[in-house]
Chains A and B, each alone.
Chain A
Amino acid sequence: MLSRQELKQRACAAIDRHQSEIVGVARQILDNPEPGFSEFKTAQLVADKFDEMGIERRTGLALTGVKGRIAGGGPGPRVALIGELDSLIVNEHPHADAETGAAHACGHHCQIGMMLGAIRGLTQPEVLEQLCGELVPFAVPAEEFIEVARRLQLREDKKLEFMGGKQELIRLGEFDDVDLAMMCHTASDMGEQKFAVGGTSNGHVVKYVQFLGRGAHAGSAPHLGVNALNAASFALQAIHNNREVFRGEDTVRIHGIMTKGGEAVNAVPADVRLEWRVRSATPKAVVKNSTLVDRCFKAGALAVGASVKITNIPGYLPMRHDTHLQELFRQNATALVGEARTMVIPGRRNRGGSTDMGDLSHLMPVCHPYTAGAVGSGHSKEYLITDYQTAVVNPAKIMAMVVIDLLAEGGAKGQEITSSHRPAMKKATYLRFQRERAEVIEYDGAR
């Protein structure tokens, strides 16, 4: 019987042997970016890799998800190794798809590489037989909450209920047979550090907003029109006028885009649309600030006598790292890159963004550390992976080592973590909370 240390050495050696394969997969995905719920090529690539590795898998989960199952040498905790399939849309990104503008400006392509790398390491027969539990390599769709109009259509067509990939997979029961989950995200703001664990992220709600006015010739009969663009513009100013009431500790982020701002300059805009997002550190603050923003949209309609339809869409929950799981990650990162290169972010420090890993973190122990290797501001055209060793190979090794810590020696550590974990919500509570967020508010400011 091999020691944990020996198991880790075998796994890491295998990952090194497959380095060009896993980096190649990442680069291939970089060159074929697909936004959420349309990651068909990317999912096919994952499925093909699973097949090549002889991993039992199911596809088309929440439209594009691919879930593998690998049994260890004995029974024990079931650990999901997650990689996110989707890209963003950033037209100017050097690796953007010329047609769709899709681009991996958030490094998700590396996640698929590192997930496959970890599995390459863990499926070495002499390693796998020592693990008590199951490995669930899981390529999940749609972490980036974008293209809201398109996803609303998918919802209308009953193709999905939730618009985040993990949310939808939770609903579908695809995490019912998972006890712990981990993934690792690339980051460009690491300085000299190689890994960072800890911190938290914002929760959010997503809003699809439509102001309806009345069209009229903007030159000859503006008095007959109701300007929906003015309604929207007022609403945005109203939001800004509320910023002073946001508490620092709530890390409130309210932002959005206008997806339609009028048809023609010479017509009073009658149909103006926004995609909006309200983020805050706690679910309670999200709910409160979401109501505040709804009030601003209504005020915009009232200001000019337009009407507004606000479609509120459940967004993500704040991240709750499992400190034990996080500590395992930290220890293995320290072993790989040294203590000086491993950063521990205070638990309350909020990066401001949101991820549906936060949703999963309310149901089970998870960790969502960061690895270096990227440059440029996240979600911008400058975000590029410049060091694939750091962005793909290193985290693959750490994830594999964490799994070994969890599942070796009869899976004792894994069981200890799962049994001591107190989930913030049960799945039913989670689904109820999120479904309460889903509402359509219609307000007629002309009444």
Chain B
Amino acid sequence: MPSTPSKDELKRWVFDAIDSKSDELINLAQAILNHPEPGYREVRTAQVVSGKLAEMGIPFRSGLGLTGVRADLLGGSAGPTMALLGELDSLIVNEHPYADAATGAAHACGHHCQIGMLLGAAIGLNQPEVLSALSGRIALIAVPAEEYIEIEYRDSLRRQGKIEFLGGKPELVKLGEFDDVNLAMMIHTTSSVDEGQLCISGTNNGTVAKKIRFIGRGSHAGGSPHLGINALNAASLALTAIHYNRETFRDADTVRVHPIITKGGEAVSAVPADVRMETFVRGRTIEAIMDANRKVDRALRAGAMAVGAQVNIQTIPGYLPLTQDRRMNEIYEPNAAALVGADRVGHVSHRTGSTDMGDISQLMPAIHPYVGGATGLGHGADYLVQDYSLAVITAAKSMAATVVDLLADGANLAGQVVAEHRPEMTRAEYLKFMRSLSSEQTFEAE
């Protein structure tokens, strides 16, 4: 009977396997870079994942939440299930050098590297001598639609009954794909040099999304403006009203309200009668989001009331604030330090963007570290991954090594993490809360 391998031995085997496929993994990430697809449309990207899994002989299920793919690696004995996530979707940034000429889709947030690192971790862990030493399962999940964009399109999918939630992870939670998952992790690329090569992160804002329609009355803008009701003025005033509330947002709540106007009138010579806006309302806590959302609703109504227009406000559940499991980060950090050196491991406390990993973090212990290697502004046309070795290979190793730490030794550490973690919500509570966020109201003109 062979002796039980040590964690270090397991990690060495894992790293060797990943290194042996590093060119292939980097090519795969770059292939996705060259074929960006926004959320719920990641058909080709999902095929890259399922093709690779098939090639590795790992059974998988696809079409989860329209495009998600899940494959489970079984350990040698029973234990908890740990999910490794990679996000399939791109953004839409027309000016990005790798933007799709037809759709404007572009990987301006580095998700293509996540798929590379997810499959890299799979390659590392999918070795009989590694898996047999682990207890429990590793759920490899390629998730759709992390970027909360194309609200109009996704809302149409929702109205057609194809999805319920506009973000991929909430949709997979609803579908039960996280019901058997006990812990989860993913790694996101970053271009912030302060964050080091690998970075332990803290919290993220949560958000709700809003679709707003101001309905006025069209009229000849030169000949009879007095017969019109200017919906653009209503929207413009609503934006002003939002700004008038900013002084009431607490710094600690990191509230972010940042609307865009998606339709601002039909023709200059007609009083705009149908003006549409989208906005997020983000905050550090659910309470902060709800408070700001109430103020935004009031501001929108004030804009409409000011000119006698009607306003339809649709609030759509977005993402919940991200909180990270401290124990899991404590287990992740030495692995990161071993790979890049302790002085290159960064720490950030709070980020004001939002991710649906936040939703997962409300349900189970989860971490969402960052890996460097990118330059430019996140979501900007200049966001480019420069160091694929770091952003894909090193990240994959850090993820797989953390799985080894958690699931080896009879999944002793994973058991401790799960036992110590107090989830904020059960799945049922989560779904109930998310559904309570969903509302649509029309406020009639006075």
Interchain CB contact under 8 A, B244 and A245: no
> Which chain B positions have C-beta within 8 A of A234?
237, 240-241, 244, 302, 306
> Which chain A positions have C-beta within 8 A of B233?
241-242, 244
Q: How far is the CB of B226 from chain A (nearest CB, A)?
A: 5
Interchain CB contact under 8 A, B306 and A241: yes
Which of B230, B248, B271, B305 contacts A299, CB < 8 Å? B305
How would residues 227 to 269 of chain B score, 1 for a CB under 8 Å from any chain A CB and 0 otherwise?
0111001001100110011011110000000000000000000
Interchain CB contact under 8 A, A303 and B249: no
Interchain CB contact under 8 A, B298 and A303: yes
A295 beta carbon closer than 8 Å to chain B: yes
> Could you tell me the distance between the alpha carbons of A211 and B233 in the complex, rounded to whole angstroms?
23
> Which chain B positions have C-beta within 8 A of A295?
305-306, 308, 446
> Which chain A positions have C-beta within 8 A of B245?
230, 303-304
> Could you tell me the distance between the alpha carbons of A131 and B128 in the complex, rounded to whole angstroms?
127
Interface residues of B in 247-306 (CB under 8 A from A): 247-250, 271, 295, 298-299, 301-303, 305-306
Interchain CB contact under 8 A, B226 and A245: yes
> Which chain B positions have C-beta within 8 A of A238?
237, 302, 306-307
B415 beta carbon closer than 8 Å to chain A: no
Interchain CB contact under 8 A, A241 and B302: no
B225 beta carbon closer than 8 Å to chain A: yes
Which of A225, A242, A303 contacts B299, CB < 8 Å? A303
Interchain CB contact under 8 A, B244 and A304: yes
A237 beta carbon closer than 8 Å to chain B: yes
> Could you tell me the distance between the alpha carbons of A294 and B240 in the complex, rounded to whole angstroms?
19
> Which chain A positions have C-beta within 8 A of B305?
295, 298-299, 302
A246 beta carbon closer than 8 Å to chain B: yes
Interchain CB contact under 8 A, B302 and A302: yes
Interchain CB contact under 8 A, A302 and B250: no
How would residues 192 to 235 of chain A score, 1 for a CB under 8 Å from any chain B CB and 0 otherwise?
00000000000000000000000000100011011100110110
Closest to B234 in A: A241
Which of A223, A242, A298, A303 contacts B241, CB < 8 Å? A303
> Could you tell me the distance between the alpha carbons of A241 and B230 in the complex, rounded to whole angstroms?
9
Which of A218, A246, A299, A305 contacts B303, CB < 8 Å? A299
> Which chain A positions have C-beta within 8 A of B446?
295
Which of A223, A241, A292, A300 contacts B248, CB < 8 Å? A223
> Which chain B positions have C-beta within 8 A of A231?
244
How would residues 247 to 274 of chain A score, 1 for a CB under 8 Å from any chain B CB and 0 otherwise?
1000000000000000000001000000
Closest to A241 in B: B233
Closest to B304 in A: A299
Interchain CB contact under 8 A, A237 and B237: yes
Interchain CB contact under 8 A, B247 and A241: no
A445 beta carbon closer than 8 Å to chain B: yes
Closest to B294 in A: A305
Interface residues of A in 282-334 (CB under 8 A from B): 292, 295-296, 298-300, 302-305
Q: How far is the CB of A155 from chain B (nearest CB, A)?
A: 28
> Could you tell me the distance between the alpha carbons of A222 and B303 in the complex, rounded to whole angstroms?
23
> Which chain B positions have C-beta within 8 A of A296?
306
How would residues 100 to 125 of chain A score, 1 for a CB under 8 Å from any chain B CB and 0 otherwise?
00000000000000000000000000
Interchain CB contact under 8 A, B225 and A244: yes
Known contacts A241-B230, A241-B237, A299-B237: A223-B307 contact under CB 8 Å: no
> Could you tell me the distance between the alpha carbons of A183 and B229 in the complex, rounded to whole angstroms?
42
For the residues of A in contact with B, the DSSP-based class is helix
Interchain CB contact under 8 A, B236 and A223: no
> Which chain B positions have C-beta within 8 A of A237?
237, 240
Interchain CB contact under 8 A, B301 and A302: yes
Q: How far is the CB of A270 from chain B (nearest CB, A)?
A: 13
Interchain CB contact under 8 A, A222 and B237: no
> Which chain B positions have C-beta within 8 A of A241?
230, 233, 236-237, 306-307
> Could you tell me the distance between the alpha carbons of A320 and B228 in the complex, rounded to whole angstroms?
31
Q: How far is the CB of B267 from chain A (nearest CB, A)?
A: 16
> Which chain A positions have C-beta within 8 A of B249?
223
Interface centre among B228, B233, B250 (most CB of A within 10 A): B233
Interchain CB contact under 8 A, A227 and B244: yes
> Could you tell me the distance between the alpha carbons of A165 and B106 in the complex, rounded to whole angstroms?
72
Closest to A252 in B: B226
Known contacts A234-B302, A241-B230: A303-B244 contact under CB 8 Å: yes
Interchain CB contact under 8 A, B230 and A244: yes
> Which chain B positions have C-beta within 8 A of A222?
247-248
Q: How far is the CB of B79 from chain A (nearest CB, A)?
A: 47
Interchain CB contact under 8 A, A304 and B241: yes
Which of B228, B248, B250, B303 contacts A245, CB < 8 Å? B228
Q: How far is the CB of A267 from chain B (nearest CB, A)?
A: 13
Q: How far is the CB of B287 from chain A (nearest CB, A)?
A: 12
> Which chain B positions have C-beta within 8 A of A225?
247-248
Interchain CB contact under 8 A, B225 and A300: no
> Which chain B positions have C-beta within 8 A of A233?
244
Which of B221, B271, B298 contacts A305, CB < 8 Å? B298
Interface centre among A226, A242, A247, A292 (most CB of B within 10 A): A242
> Could you tell me the distance between the alpha carbons of A218 and B248 in the complex, rounded to whole angstroms?
10
Q: How far is the CB of B248 from chain A (nearest CB, A)?
A: 5
Interface centre among A237, A241, A246, A305 (most CB of B within 10 A): A241
> Could you tell me the distance between the alpha carbons of A230 and B247 in the complex, rounded to whole angstroms?
10
> Could you tell me the distance between the alpha carbons of A295 and B305 in the complex, rounded to whole angstroms?
7
Closest to B233 in A: A241
How would residues 422 to 444 of chain B score, 1 for a CB under 8 Å from any chain A CB and 0 otherwise?
00000000000000000000000
How would residues 317 to 361 of chain A score, 1 for a CB under 8 Å from any chain B CB and 0 otherwise?
000000000000000000000000000000000000000000000
> Could you tell me the distance between the alpha carbons of A426 and B271 in the complex, rounded to whole angstroms?
41
Interface centre among A218, A246, A268, A300 (most CB of B within 10 A): A300
24 A-B pairs with C-beta separation under 8 A: A222-B248, A223-B250, A227-B244, A227-B247, A230-B244, A230-B247, A231-B244, A241-B236, A241-B307, A242-B306, A244-B228, A245-B229, A246-B226, A268-B247, A299-B302, A299-B303, A300-B302, A302-B298, A303-B241, A303-B245, A304-B241, A304-B298, A305-B298, A445-B298
Identify 8 new A-B residue pairs, CB closer than 8 A, beyond the known A238-B237, A244-B228.
A226-B248, A227-B248, A242-B307, A244-B226, A244-B233, A295-B306, A298-B305, A299-B302
Q: Which residues of A contact B (CB under 8 A)?
A: 218, 222-223, 225-227, 230-231, 233-234, 237-238, 241-242, 244-247, 268, 292, 295-296, 298-300, 302-305, 445
Return the 3 tightest CB-CB contacts between A and B, nearest first.
A238-B306, A303-B302, A303-B241
